[in-house]
Structure 1
Amino acid sequence: MGLIISYLKKRKDDVVTRATDHDWSNLHQDLIICFAEQIVSMKDFYAFRGVSKSWRSAAIKENSNREFRLQHKVPVLVLPKNYSAPIRNFYSLTKGEIYQLDLPETRGKRCFSSLGWLLTVSLDDSRLHLFNPLNHALIELPRLRSKTLICRNITKFVLSSSPSWTSNYEVMVQSNCFLVFYRPGYNNDKWTRIILPGAVKIFIDTIYYKGRFYVVDYKGGVFVCDMGDPKNARMRLIASELPKELFGLIHFKLPYLVESATGALLLVVCSFGYDDYESTLGCRVFEVSFGNGNSWSRESEVKNLGNRTLFLSANSSSFSIEALDDSICKPNCIYFLNRCHVSTRGDIDIGIYYMEDGKIERDLEKLPDFQYKGTSLTSHLWIQPSF
């Protein structure tokens, strides 16, 4: 409350001067919203909204410029738990501590994250929901009824915008070999399957970028999705696969798509070696060049991210934030959550890659319950707090 006290000392209007230690819940709504704008962690959000109904309302109204503030929100790391447990462990990067949330809506379901929302996938009846872990908002999505689009195969989902902000949102669900699209009111409120070009691709990542969905396959080929006609929704190649000579002798690559601070589309490639094919060896960043279909060269490589921090994940939307001076996140770094190629030691390889010198820090692996040995339907996730 130190921020509130200092703020009150500066305000001389009647509303503020009447406030005492006993009537915080009755502060003017505009003032409460000013305080709400300072929230940077999910734990603080829960404490803030618990003061009163007016404070809870302010915690939601403060999102008048949500998309801008989301660029500065440090994500939390969701740790795996038993699939039947309603309690989820969240690790706060800003606080450096683990806390628990009671989320019965996720019990017995696989979860994926995008823009602060979870896609919950029920394996027994193919039900899909969008779920906000902060306010427990729940949106039912159409079922995936096709035998080839079974829920068990889902690897990622991406939102165009948060349902907290607008009803005009779009959802893309990705599997290794299929993509399906949903928009409320589009195609009779049914999922639209994207027609794949040529041979079946193995998709790794999807991003919503400048009004369209883009997808990258395991070879680094980048595709854009055209969905003007729901009966003929398809993909087309905009950047060919990565040349092997750019990487030399590596065992395999995991490519991700992220938007840069300047608005460019970046391809981030995590590499694994032949001798150690379970650990990420390094990351390289390339700018996607549109229109020539053969964009990859050493000249397109990005060596410095400036004050940006990238977050990559096998189960979450990839994104970047601005590392402010007082931020716990390290600038010019990449936080990765890679699914191991051969998971003999665990499912996820986590670390922080420093662009400046190529160093990899792995302190996050030491978190309690990080290498969960039980039965878990949901692996580790980055979640951007969407208040």
Structure 2
Amino acid sequence: MEPPKSRKRKCSTANWSDLPQDLVVHIAKQFLSVYDFKAFGGVCKTWSCAATEETFTGGLTHQVPLLMLRGSSEDGITSTANRECYNLVKGKLCRIGTNIQLRPLKWWPLLGCWCLSSLGWLLAQSITDPRVTYLLHPFKHREIVLPTFSEYPNRLNKFVLSSSPLTSDFVVMVLLRCPRYLAFCRPKIDNAWTIVSLEYPYGLAGNGFSDIAYYKGQFYFVDYSIGAILVCDIDDTKKPKIRDDVVPCMPHNPKLFRLRNNYVTRIYLVESAGDLLVVFRLNSKFDVRKTTGIRVFKVPFSTGNWYDSEVKNLGNRALFLGENNSSFSIEALAYGSGCMANCIYFQTDEEETKLGIYSMKFEEFKPFLPKFPKLKKPYAWIQPSF
């Protein structure tokens, strides 16, 4: 008698595209991570149709940023079409395509330009002709030609967007180096940059402009030389002006900022959980490259009292400070991401450790990216966005 023939069990393959579209859209709305949302849309065409910008509910406040590294040439000039980035969520290096065919200089993608970052967009300034600037979106491969500067400007130092260029009328504000001055443009309305004089009212005479931020419909910037938080009023395009009446100047009190053996090297402005924060980075007087502390204060718009405005705990948020990007905060514990809550990610001046993490709870530092000790400046944090 012959043994019975073995029967192979047939496995049925699920057809994920047959799921009801309403259910697929409901699932898509549950994602907070843009990385997971993109992966969800790559399953099939039906799911891709549900993974649209309108469906995504995560927003910028939840997105763990990418750390864009410098190109292979010297002094931070981009020399490759694809930029290398460090992904905190996955804990590894990746590449983003920045080979965007710009017009009218079709031969110039990101070759020979300086890049700054804000709200997921890059502002590229040509090295050969600094008057030429573009907005680039590295994830959507979109470009927006900005007005040409009438004169040769210095290198752009800071760049801030008022909102996403794809969703509304927006304003681009830049801070230029040496001599420092502000300039802004409304690409959908004007075809020119407007220069803002930094002459202060009431006889103030500061020259230490270090950072700018867009907060509740206005552009704020800080001058660390006199401890002033100022507003750039651009309602009147023909006569923009600087206002210093928003809050009293920060007191020059060494005890307030713990400056016994330290000095302030950087001041950042960053919006976090509805507040405008001022972040001071302190370095040692004995080793100018060593960061010794970070102090955070909430701008006291209502009380004007800086002594009662120090922030000791960021809660579930993390701050990302940068020399080449507008500073921002995210909800670090939103979906089990790779970044730590109640911490500040920043750039140091040390040779061995170019990036650091400061714990607000323990008031201590530790190096960031210990596996890549030879990374060279400059860096820029990029917020993933559509």
Is 2:317 the partner of 1:308?
Answer: yes
In the TM superposition, residue 37 of structure 1 has moved relative to its aligned partner by: 5.1
Q: 1:31 to 1:194 in 2, by over 3 A?
A: same
Q: In the alignment, which of 331, 337, 358 is matched to residue 327 of structure 1?
A: 337
State which structure, 1 or 2, has the greater radius of gyration over its C-alpha atoms: 2
TM-score, normalised via structure 2 length: 0.81
Match of 2:33 in 1: 40
C-alpha distance in structure 1 between counterparts of 2:170 and 2:384, whole Å: 18
Q: 1:279 to 1:368 in 2, by over 3 A?
A: closer
SS at match of 1:301: coil
- Contact in 1 for aligned 2:170/2:188 (Cα 8 Å): no
Matches within 5 A, 1:1-387: 21=14, 24=17, 28=21, 31=24, 34-35=27-28, 38=31, 40=33, 42=35, 47-48=39-40, 50=42, 55-62=47-54, 65=57, 69-82=59-72, 83-104=78-99, 105-125=109-129, 126-147=131-152, 150=153, 152-164=154-166, 166-176=167-177, 177-186=180-189, 188-198=190-200, 199=205, 201-219=207-225, 220-237=227-244, 238=246, 239-245=248-254, 246-247=256-257, 248-249=259-260, 250-261=262-273, 263-290=274-301, 295-297=305-307, 299-324=308-333, 326-338=336-348, 340=349, 345=351, 349-367=354-372, 370-371=375-376, 379-387=378-386
- Contact in 2 for aligned 1:226/1:233 (Cα 8 Å): yes
In structure 1, stretches of 5+ residues that fail to align are 1-18, 373-378
C-alpha distance in structure 1 between counterparts of 2:39 and 2:224, whole Å: 42
C-alpha distance in structure 2 between counterparts of 1:208 and 1:93, whole Å: 26
RMSD over aligned Cα, in angstroms? Answer: 2.8
In the TM superposition, residue 70 of structure 1 has moved relative to its aligned partner by: 1.5
SS at match of 1:71: helix
C-alpha distance in structure 2 between counterparts of 1:57 and 1:368, whole Å: 42
How many residues are paired up? Answer: 347
In the TM superposition, residue 133 of structure 1 has moved relative to its aligned partner by: 0.7
SS at match of 1:193: strand
- Contact in 2 for aligned 1:201/1:217 (Cα 8 Å): yes
- Contact in 1 for aligned 2:37/2:56 (Cα 8 Å): no
C-alpha distance in structure 2 between counterparts of 1:160 and 1:241, whole Å: 26
Q: 1:25 to 1:316 in 2, by over 3 A?
A: farther
C-alpha distance in structure 1 between counterparts of 2:270 and 2:355, whole Å: 18
C-alpha distance in structure 1 between counterparts of 2:325 and 2:18, whole Å: 36
- Contact in 2 for aligned 1:307/1:324 (Cα 8 Å): yes
Q: 1:91 to 1:290 in 2, by over 3 A?
A: same
SS at match of 2:315: coil
| Structure with the largest fraction of helix | 1
- Contact in 1 for aligned 2:159/2:326 (Cα 8 Å): yes
C-alpha distance in structure 2 between counterparts of 1:221 and 1:63, whole Å: 41
C-alpha distance in structure 1 between counterparts of 2:20 and 2:344, whole Å: 41
C-alpha distance in structure 1 between counterparts of 2:47 and 2:206, whole Å: 51
C-alpha distance in structure 2 between counterparts of 1:264 and 1:273, whole Å: 29
Q: 1:323 to 1:195 in 2, by over 3 A?
A: same
Q: 1:369 to 1:132 in 2, by over 3 A?
A: farther
Q: 1:46 to 1:102 in 2, by over 3 A?
A: farther
Match of 1:375 in 2: none
Quick one: percent identity of the two aligned structures? 41
In structure 2, stretches of 5+ residues that fail to align are 1-11, 73-77, 100-108
